[in-house]
Amino acid sequence: MAGLRERKKAKTHEAIQGAALRLFRKQGYEQTTIEQIAEAAEVSPSTFFRYFPTKEDIVLHDALDPLFFASFAEQPPELTTIQALRAAMREVLGRLTPRELEIEEERQELIMAVPDLRARMLDNFASTMRGMVDQLAARVGRSPDDLEVRAVTGALLGAIIAVWFTSPGVDRPWTQEITGYLDQFDRALAYLEESGFRF
């Protein structure tokens, strides 16, 4: 169980992010200043910067990656890589609270709407890719530098991204349509496995 210090930090983090998202909805991302966010969250600007180096980081901070990596690492060894990935995805996304789903929806909408955020998202995706390479390499007992490990990671994440960005008629992936997206992610990965994709 998290200690008092960790719970306090998590509460402050949530307060800053929540205040920021409310202001973004009310007056727009570009029009909202760090000072306004700090005031709304009842923290000092210096406290804000201890949690988020920039305003962009409020939106781009992805709390799900560490949860997903941990779940993937804990999947039973008898599962194939794709089976473990599917199980981890369902476990992490399936247990999010309504508020956490709402935050994810707001983050994704802002990232798609603000050009600077879309550009920064590519950097974040590169970090996610490196993290997934490390996780997959550890699972199969290979080096993260192994070309096959890197190629397989790219293929798996590519399938997920393709579903996310191209699914017709799914406009709200993290709330009302979370089940639909999970099913499509699962089917895309199952297709790779059924096609003889093994690792």
CA 40 to chain centre: 25
Predicted TM-score of the model (pTM): 0.76
**DSSP states of 26-60 as a string?**
HH-TTT--HHHHHHHHT--HHHHHHH-SSHHHHHH
pLDDT band of 170, cuts 50, 70, 90: very low
Domains, the chain, ordered by start: 4-54 (1.10.10.60), 62-194 (1.10.357.10)
In terms of pLDDT, which residue wins out, 140 or 183? Answer: 140
Give the pair of three-digit tokens for residue 23. 């202001």
- pLDDT (average), residues 175-191: 75
H-only helix segments in 42-196: 45-51, 55-60, 64-74, 81-94, 98-113, 115-140, 147-166, 178-194
Q: Which of 10-14, 89-93, 144-148, 176-180 has the lowest mean pLDDT?
A: 176-180
